[in-house]
Amino acid sequence: MSENSPRVVVITGAASGIGFATAELFRDAGDIVFGLDINDTVPEGVTYVECNVGDKAAVDAAIEVCAQHGRIDVLANVAGIVQFGRIETVTEEEWDRVHAVDLKGPFFLIQAALPHLRACRGNVVNVSSVAGNVAQPYATAYAAAKGGLTQLTKALALELSPEGIRVNAVCPGTVDTPIVAQVFHKLTDDLDKRVADRLMMMLPGGAISPKEIGEAIVYLAGARMATGTVLAVDGGMS
């Protein structure tokens, strides 16, 4: 691989929101981009690979497809689902689903991609959340999964640094994507309007856009000396 070869970039959750915007940015930079998702609405020019990230066998099969160039330069774990509700309402099925997508998924994606990351000293960017770093009520399963993902990022950065493989995370605040409408509906209807107001606390200038989070992901993917970095892009929420 020459210095000028396009990077091979694998992005989960590329069919919507932050993952979609991130895939567009890498594509526009001239990279070869694979978009893993359960939906096929990935940006034009991005190769869609069907994958439920909560299913280890599906993850292994999808990474095999993405490894056709003999390397993976960037793995961006963006796919995620939210959970909002009082503790009494969280079922075992909901707890398991949130952890499968938000925590187990990134772990098994990194594990499957590792030989191909090693081939080119690639790097990983995980999308965690402000909810994984500071307290937020009514989101127990989500906060636990995202807190786990933030900590997984730091532990793995240390473990893989001798091999030159970097692992970083971006922790968004409230970003204008379909996931958010779902959360606010629940908060304002059933739970606590004060929490909804706090989630909207951000710098003047309106909501954070998916592209602004994508730019942070692209930055960390290319930041030669950044590893174990947990980058908050949350308008000051944390």
Selected from 7, 9, 11, 19, the binder of ligand NAD by CB under 6 A is 19
175 near ligand NAD (CB under 6 A): yes
Rg of the chain taking only CA atoms, in angstroms: 17
Least distance from ligand NAD to the Cβ atom of residue 132, Å = 8
By CB under 6 A, name the one of 8, 10, 18, 232 that touches ligand NAD: 18
Q: Considering only CA atoms, which of 120, 26, 22, 27 is closest in space to residue 67?
A: 120
Residue whose CB is less far from ligand NAD, 31 or 37: 37
Burial class (CB in 10 A: 0-12, 13-18, 19+), 157: buried
Task: Specify the DSSP class assigned to residue 103.
Answer: I
Under the criterion CB under 6 A, does residue 223 sit at the interface with ligand NAD?
A: no
Choose, from 48, 138, 142, 219, the residue flagged as catalytic: 142
Residue 86 Cβ vs ligand NAD, minimum distance, rounded to whole Å = 20
Q: Where are the beta strands (DSSP E) in the chain?
A: 8-12, 32-37, 47-50, 74-77, 123-127, 166-172, 230-233
54 binds ligand NAD (CB under 6 A): yes
Q: What is the DSSP letter of 16?
A: S
What span, in angstroms and rounded, lies between the C-alpha atoms of 133 and 72? Answer: 29
Site for ligand NAD in 99-138 (CB under 6 A): 101, 127, 129
Q: Is 142 a catalytic residue?
A: yes
Interface region with ligand NAD, contact rule CB under 6 A, candidates 67-75, 158-166, 174-182, 189-197: 174-182
Q: Catalytic site residues?
A: 142
